[in-house]
Amino acid sequence: MRETTNVLVIGGGPAGSTAASLLAREGFQVTLLERDRFPREHIGESLLPSILTVLDLIGAREKAERHGFVRKYGGYLEWGDDTFEIVFGDPAEFKDGYGFQVIRSEFDHLLLEHAESQGVRVRQGVKATEVVFTDGRPTSVKWVNTRDAEETGEISFDYLIDASGRAGLLATRYLGGRRYNEGFRNVAAYSYWTGTTPPRHGPPGAIQVGSIQDGWIWAIPLHDGTLSVGVVAHKQSFQSRRDQGRTIEELYGDALAESPLISGLLESGTRVRPVQVEQDFSYICEESAGPGYFIAGDAASFLDPLLSTGVHLATFSATLAAAGVSSILRGELREDEVAEYYRGAYQTAYIRFLVLVSSLYLNYRGKKSLFWDAHRMSREEVADGRIIHAFWNVVSGLEDLDDAEGGGSALVVSEMRRLIDVYFAQGSGRDDAWLAGLPEEEQEQVLAEVRPLVAPNEYALSEETALNGFFVRTTPHLALVRVDEPTEAVER
Ligand SMILES: Cc1cc2nc3c(=O)[nH]c(=O)nc-3n(C[C@H](O)[C@H](O)[C@H](O)COP(=O)(O)OP(=O)(O)OC[C@H]3O[C@@H](n4cnc5c(N)ncnc54)[C@H](O)[C@@H]3O)c2cc1C
């Protein structure tokens, strides 16, 4: 069977559904292939406030609100010898200052059904098996019905958005170039509990995070009354304990007992599901866009889940990709400039969060162990110039690092500390006097860097919040627009 479509999306997770919905709402013919049949389980339940912006953009806010997911107004961390309270928005109002804690099988299903309701041809139980390239450009995808291997087909398209999650069809099979962050080779073991004690700390619906000797633990309240509890540890320490004969259940139990914050919640609780294990290595794909394709979400990059940034990065990249495809197909921008922009903007967004996550690991003041050592950015990573360069671009806008030579590593560390202090200043009681001591312009610059984590509306949707010189315009139609330059129709 041979079919055609304007845009083919591989994967029906948050990235795929978001990109597909946005493009279908623009009148493009969009087909989405999803290997599984929804609802399907997925880890990644704690969503940042930016999800409200995404839901508004695709027209699914009311459906999500009606579903009854737990509203998350922030987080509470017991981190080594420190405690932090994170509050989204103004606690007195709590209007748009919340994210959601979601059961992903339900949330992802809601988004996929919504995509279908917007006109996307959604094909569940259909796995993309091969991408066919013509002159270096993907032009069709071969697929198979996962329940009937005899049923196969091929679909041609103008544009491909690969949102296939960590499987990452394009990146792992055709492009290569996934760059792993050595320090973040983690493993997560998680399960679900009932009958737990309500948290005593943090704003309503807060994620609770407790550090332990070899990693950290999350506890996320879900709307069916269960508590999602997961342990993140370095792969090596996890494996060495497995080699000593500890079962996964035992390792999980040992870790929970180490955190007074988390074990206090679980005292009266019962674990209701087997413990599951997943790798959560961090990586970024440098070829996240090229002729005829964009890679969005986990298919392109994955970042340590400490700050719950996964779904944000997935839906944000999907929005940029959809706006880019829309502008290209309408002849407003050339695909090479859009691809170049997308690669750069993606890296900026990713590194911004990597720096924040690293800052939090750096700021850990507790017992030393392999986990904490591994999560400090290595000398090589800093020395190879990429992280330090990107970091400086993010934090201070400085292009030239020559004068930072030699002292570069120390500068990065001190800047990271400053960033994390700002991020956690609210309610943490930590000293943020240094910020007040900066010139006003610099204060604004530093705050602008941490805002995307906590503010729902900073989403590259206006000139003021533009990322790398472009922003996404939604009216009169979805488009990527260069700051200060009206778009004109150009040859593709
Ligand atoms: C331990 C852990 C904890 C996490 N915690 C959080 C958190 O609290 N908050 C948060 O925001 N994020 C969290 N994340 C990250 C989050 O899970 C992901 O970032 C998010 O799911 C990415 O969405 P996506 O749409 O890119 O990919 P996915 O949600 O993985 O969707 C990809 C889809 O593609 C489909 N697919 C794959 N291959 C094919 C193929 N060949 N053909 C057709 N379909 C295919 C898959 O079936 C899947 O449905 C966590 C991750 C881990 C590992």
In a domain, 239, yes or no: yes
pLDDT of residue 171: 95
Helix and strand counts by DSSP (H, E) for the chain: 16, 23
Please tell me the distance between residue 12's alpha carbon and the centre of ligand 1 in angstroms.
9
Q: Is the pLDDT of residue 380 over 70?
A: no
Residue with tokens 């550090």: 211
pLDDT of residue 384: 43
The predicted-structure confidence for 189-204, as pLDDT tens digits, reads as follows 999 999 999 999 998 9
Measured from the Cα of 169, ligand 1's closest atom is 41
User: How many Å is the Cα radius of gyration of the chain?
Assistant: 22
pLDDT of residue 445: 62
User: Which CATH number is 211's domain given?
Assistant: 3.30.9.100
Last residue of a domain, one of 232, 261, 279: 279
pLDDT of residue 94: 60
Per the DSSP assignment, residues forming a β-bridge with 161 are: 9, 294
Average pLDDT over residues 211-240: 93
Question: For the sheet containing 283-285, what is the strand order?
Answer: 178-180, 283-285, 301-302
pLDDT class for 15, splitting at 50, 70, 90?
very high
Q: Is the pLDDT of residue 90 over 90?
A: no
In a domain, 365, yes or no: no
Residue 39: is the preceding peptide bond cis (ω within 30°)? Answer: yes
Please tell me the distance between residue 29's alpha carbon and the centre of ligand 1 in angstroms.
24
Measured from the Cα of 126, ligand 1's closest atom is 43
pLDDT of residue 339: 96
Residue 400 near residue 408, CB atoms below 8 Å: no
In a domain, 91, yes or no: no
Measured from the Cα of 127, ligand 1's closest atom is 42
Lowest mean pLDDT among 63-67, 110-114, 164-168, 452-456: 452-456
386 and 448 fall within a common domain: yes
In a domain, 484, yes or no: no
Average pLDDT over residues 359-388: 55
Written as six digits, the tokens of 153 are: 């087909």
275 and 286 fall within a common domain: no
Average pLDDT over residues 403-422: 44
192 and 231 fall within a common domain: yes
pLDDT of residue 440: 76
pLDDT class for 102, splitting at 50, 70, 90?
very high
Q: Is the pLDDT of residue 29 over 60?
A: yes
pLDDT of residue 430: 41
pLDDT of residue 219: 98
305 and 162 fall within a common domain: yes
The residue whose CB lies within 8 Å of the most ligand 1 atoms, and thus the one to mutate among 35, 45, 77, 172, is: 35
Total-model pTM: 0.87
The CA distance from 377 to 393, in Å, is 18
Residues with CB under 6 A from ligand 1: 10-16, 33-36, 42-47, 127-128, 163-165, 167, 169, 188, 230, 278, 280, 297-299, 305, 308, 310-312, 314
402 and 343 fall within a common domain: no
Q: Say whether 118 sits in a helix, a strand or coil.
A: coil
339 and 400 fall within a common domain: no
Please tell me the distance between residue 301's alpha carbon and the centre of ligand 1 in angstroms.
11
pLDDT class for 127, splitting at 50, 70, 90?
very high
Q: Per the structure, how many domains does the chain have?
A: 3
Q: Is the pLDDT of residue 261 over 80?
A: yes
Lowest mean pLDDT among 353-367, 380-394, 434-448: 380-394
The predicted-structure confidence for 54-89, as pLDDT tens digits, reads as follows 999 999 999 999 999 999 988 898 988 878 777 776
The predicted-structure confidence for 433-484, as pLDDT tens digits, reads as follows 555 666 777 666 655 555 554 443 457 888 877 777 888 998 899 999 998 7
Nearest CA to ligand 1 atom 51: 44
Please tell me the distance between residue 358's alpha carbon and the centre of ligand 1 in angstroms.
22
pLDDT of residue 208: 97
Q: Residue 200: which domain range?
A: 186-279
Last residue of a domain, one of 257, 279, 301: 279
Distances (CA, A) of 41 to 65, 333, 400: 21, 38, 46
33 and 142 fall within a common domain: yes
Residue 281 near residue 304, CB atoms below 8 Å: no
323 and 391 fall within a common domain: no
Please tell me the distance between residue 252's alpha carbon and the centre of ligand 1 in angstroms.
23
In a domain, 399, yes or no: yes
Q: Is the pLDDT of residue 353 over 90?
A: no
Q: Which amino acid is at 487?
A: T
Q: Which amino acid is at 169?
A: L
The CA distance from 270 to 253, in Å, is 12
Please tell me the distance between residue 392's alpha carbon and the centre of ligand 1 in angstroms.
30
User: What is the residue-averaged pLDDT of the chain?
Assistant: 83
If residue 319 lies in a helix (H) or strand (E), which one and from where to where?
helix 310-329
The CA distance from 21 to 456, in Å, is 20
The CA distance from 332 to 7, in Å, is 17
Q: Is the pLDDT of residue 122 over 60?
A: yes
Measured from the Cα of 166, ligand 1's closest atom is 30
Q: Is the pLDDT of residue 425 over 70?
A: no
Last residue of a domain, one of 249, 279, 309: 279
The CA distance from 258 to 276, in Å, is 19
pLDDT of residue 395: 34
193 and 114 fall within a common domain: no
The predicted-structure confidence for 303-350, as pLDDT tens digits, reads as follows 888 888 899 999 999 999 999 999 999 999 999 999 999 988 887 777
The residue whose CB lies within 8 Å of the most ligand 1 atoms, and thus the one to mutate among 9, 32, 41, 43, is: 43
232 and 168 fall within a common domain: no
Written as six digits, the tokens of 459 are: 């989403």
Q: Which amino acid is at 305?
A: P
The residue whose CB lies within 8 Å of the most ligand 1 atoms, and thus the one to mutate among 18, 21, 34, is: 34
- Strand blocks (E) in 30-107: 30-34, 70-72, 74-79, 82-87, 99-101
In a domain, 366, yes or no: no
287 and 328 fall within a common domain: yes
Nearest CA to ligand 1 atom 4: 44
Looking at residue 204, the DSSP 8-state letter turns out to be T
User: Which CATH number is 28's domain given?
Assistant: 3.50.50.60
In a domain, 492, yes or no: no
pLDDT of residue 441: 74
pLDDT class for 179, splitting at 50, 70, 90?
confident
Q: Is the pLDDT of residue 402 over 70?
A: no
Using a pLDDT cut of 70, give the percent of the chain over it: 76
How are the residues of the chain apportioned to helix, strand and coil, as percentages rounded to the nearest 5?
A: 40, 25, 35
In a domain, 417, yes or no: yes
Q: Which of 162, 167, 206 is nearest to 74 (CA)?
A: 206
152 and 124 fall within a common domain: yes
